[in-house]
Structure 1
């Protein structure tokens, strides 16, 4: 049976060790504790941490905290019954270490690993424990702190209106849930290595790096992969659609572009994802709007000047229409990632992932063979249709007939969409 005192004492010990050692910082705190005690104005967890009864209730869901800790003589509850404190670190840490449940907690808690490593406890490794904890940059609280700071600056709110900012922990689909081609996997590994060795690349003068153009039809996973990279690299995701920053007063478009690039430098390290890249870039071949052409030149210049190694910004652009881009646009990117329509084997893998938590008897191999030309987005729509149809029949499991019927319905919609209905 799980001992709630172990969980309570982990929090109190973590706070005590963190408070006592100046060399420990916010990334030495386990994520739940870090998020609970985060202070937006500090962009960190300032010392000292003071643990309240409400903190324990929030983190552990324990209602009668005071009653639980009464049996431990080294925990003091203040007279008001609001705050908890360890009166003897030596006694508390010794009691904690005697329990088998504590071993895993120490191994995944950098603050505790730091303390017990100093005591020369066998098998305790501070560096290993720290590698198991995601950095503060993955947290929504970190991103919110950056946003609040920018909002207070002159023009900050206007900048923030132009983009959508997502914290890595809010990314719904990690890379492990996406089916990638070998070429895509290789490109992603290059990016991961570049981020990891960013300081080295800067030292040897490689600045024109970290600019990736994703090319492929709608629904093939460009946005999903770009977002998943945020989760993989533990850095915020900043999304901008060029159609959103093209002001009705074209003179403002160039200013909006400058604002976006200024913003991402403030949010760095981060990913800047530019969707609909062809929206403006294609206008370089047009003489219609001189102001819009100036905006395009502003965009291309901004891309030239942003740098992964210098500014900490990984720039990813996506287009469904590569032929609309001229050579000047292509030259800005050091990597091109192609997103073809999935073949039958990829379609089956996608279907297997989408249906992995769905009960039923069905054959994804058969469905993959009758969905040629479908994108990953199309396949997810088919599964959604099948699930909703089963719910109409008061079922929470799928049959092969459900999937076949969903494919037929999708094909019918596609036919209607492509037909000429003008009168």
Structure 2
């Protein structure tokens, strides 16, 4: 970062703090994630306290030591030695200076600044609504999620055992986006329906329409079931609670039912959220035969909890995923209001996936031909193929991917599948 860039970033934070403090109509979602961290905002609860820009926070977050020395010749800043704080002395003059010195791109990513700039001069041409919409929400942050978890444990420490069985991700931590996934028209329509339901919860409650939001994803490994579940966390602005039923089953089977109850309790308390149960067939399998009594109780506990959870009542979206739908009995199937299939991609879909995976790569390979030669490959297989092709090129000291690199990737997948099919007994 150049010195000029450092000064712009510092002035942005000083302007934002002053705008926020003077205008109570703005809230935490009008602050950028970096600004929240500098100002030490960890909650949306309680009174709206004034925010300050401390030099220690600037060094910790931005890596700029002695920020007041960077701004010692700036006519619009003031350094308070008591408390080691910085502030801007004039908002209108500060905005004028900021715009003249190349700050417009930063305003276009900062809702508080965008709001103030539009109020001062609409001709600047920056839409506050658009900037705010693009700004990451505080409710999507890990900081906000951790605060909610801490509060939940303070009220009931017994839930800690349930948390130990769940991997929780805030929306901001999820790498997958809906744009990264090639969804079928049917899958996209289900997503739209979920968004509409969440926007009209009270209407649906008044009509007693509750059978929405329990989805079962079925299909072979690598077809995008987990990726779509995680992408929905970002689309719906909900944390995702990932559960693998094989982890829930205690070596003492008698504890499994309690574990399942606690997981659903956590989901209700952290709502709105997504509860994603992978390996759903592990417990909710056919209950025909001489299964252990404790395992039967565990299956019953799972089905009972599914009955009691609701997107409309509890704001919990339940997603089960399985590679083996044939193992689920009728009682398990009935719990889901929608079953969404994930099939192996056809040739057109494989071509779309490959184009997306190679969009930033330097290559002139024949993508339609690759799609033709990869019949039976899953989306995960294609991703691995492209990864291997990139590594092959880099190993040879090249950045451009060749047809030979792609063939090495194809060979890797096919050899792996041959090994998987071997019988070592």
Given the two structures, how large is their TM-score scaled by the length of structure 2? 0.89
Q: 1:417 aligns with which of 387, 411, 420?
A: 420
How far did 1:133 drift?
A: 1.9
Alignment of 1:16-27 (within 5 A): 16-27=18-29
Between 291-300 and 80-89, the greater mean CA deviation after superposition: 80-89
Q: Secondary structure at the match of 1:247?
A: coil
Q: 2:134 aligns with which of 123, 132, 135?
A: 132
Alignment of 1:258-337 (within 5 A): 258-337=261-340
Q: 1:48 aligns with which of 32, 47, 50?
A: 50
Residue aligning to 2:249: 246
Q: Distance in 1 between matches of 2:334 and 2:95?
A: 59
Q: Distance in 2 between matches of 1:381 and 1:6?
A: 42
Q: Secondary structure at the match of 1:317?
A: strand
Gaps in structure 1 of 5+ consecutive residues: none
Q: Secondary structure at the match of 1:362?
A: coil
Between 377-386 and 2-11, the greater mean CA deviation after superposition: 2-11
Q: Distance in 1 between matches of 2:151 and 2:45?
A: 9
Q: Secondary structure at the match of 1:134?
A: coil
Q: 2:410 aligns with which of 407, 410, 414?
A: 407
Number of residue pairs the alignment of both structures matches? 421
1:32 aligns with 2:26: no
Q: 1:3 to 1:407 in 2, by over 3 A?
A: closer
- Could you tell me whether the CA contact under 8 Å between 2:213 and 2:317 is conserved in 1? yes
Between 187-196 and 220-229, the greater mean CA deviation after superposition: 187-196
Residue aligning to 1:109: 110
Residue aligning to 1:12: 14
Residue aligning to 1:86: 88
Q: Secondary structure at the match of 1:285?
A: coil
Q: Distance in 1 between matches of 2:66 and 2:233?
A: 40
Cα shift readout 1:40-64 (whole Å, capped 9, x = no counterpart):
4777996221102243345555455
Gaps in structure 2 of 5+ consecutive residues: none
1:386 aligns with 2:404: no
Q: 1:312 to 1:38 in 2, by over 3 A?
A: farther
Residue aligning to 1:185: 188
Cα shift readout 1:121-147 (whole Å, capped 9, x = no counterpart):
455654444323232122122222223
Between 252-261 and 189-198, the greater mean CA deviation after superposition: 189-198
- Could you tell me whether the CA contact under 8 Å between 1:174 and 1:231 is conserved in 2? yes
Residue aligning to 1:346: 349
Q: Secondary structure at the match of 1:281?
A: coil
How far did 1:207 drift?
A: 2.4
- Could you tell me whether the CA contact under 8 Å between 1:283 and 1:293 is conserved in 2? no
RMSD of aligned residue pairs (Cα, Å):
2.7
Q: 1:41 to 1:108 in 2, by over 3 A?
A: closer
1:198 aligns with 2:201: yes
Q: Secondary structure at the match of 2:222?
A: coil
Q: 1:311 to 1:371 in 2, by over 3 A?
A: same
- Could you tell me whether the CA contact under 8 Å between 1:386 and 1:402 is conserved in 2? yes
Q: 1:100 to 1:190 in 2, by over 3 A?
A: farther
Between 111-120 and 209-218, the greater mean CA deviation after superposition: 111-120
Q: Secondary structure at the match of 2:283?
A: helix
Q: Distance in 1 between matches of 2:275 and 2:264?
A: 9
